[in-house]
């Protein structure tokens, strides 16, 4: 009985700690460092983080952050789903061209 109780407590603590780490990956544009770049600042992300990025990039407070998120999404998907990667790249190119951001046009062309 005591062993079972220890297992339950340890499992509960592990779940709470793991959940806290997963929650820290959700982007919050009200914070100064709201976004951790995929593969540069973190490789600890799951599909829910990617879904959050896909839905939330339009809410980014500035062009550079929005373009960074789009570029990361395109880069992530380029080995997994070329059509999806192409769509993100095209969105980024279209927005960068419309805003006259030549450096981002170049980055999206390389991606």
Q: What is the pLDDT of residues 47-105, one digit of tens each?
A: 777 888 888 888 888 999 899 989 989 988 888 899 999 999 999 999 999 999 999 99
Contact 78, 57 (CB under 8 A): no
Q: How far apart are CA 92 and CA 104, in angstroms?
A: 8
Distances in whole angstroms, Cα of residue 53 to Cα of each of 10, 27, 48, 58, 82: 32, 8, 9, 9, 18
pTM of the model: 0.62
Q: Which ranges of the chain would DSSP assign to H, the alpha helix?
A: 2-23, 47-56, 63-77, 82-98, 102-110
Could you list the residue range(s) of the whole structural domain that residue 40 is in? Answer: 2-110
What is the number of structural domains in the chain? Answer: 1
């Amino acid at each position: 009985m005591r062993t079972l109780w220890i297992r339950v407590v340890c499992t509960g603590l592990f779940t709470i700690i793991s959940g806290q780490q997963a929650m820290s990956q959700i982007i919050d544009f009200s914070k100064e460092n709201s976004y951790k770049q995929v593969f540069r600042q973190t490789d600890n992300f799951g599909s829910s983080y990617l879904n959050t990025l896909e839905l939330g990039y339009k809410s980014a407070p500035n062009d550079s952050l929005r373009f960074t998120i789009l570029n990361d999404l395109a880069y992530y998907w380029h080995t997994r789903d070329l059509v999806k990667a192409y769509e993100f790249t095209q969105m980024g190119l279209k927005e960068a061209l419309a805003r006259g951001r030549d450096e981002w046009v170049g980055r999206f062309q390389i991606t």
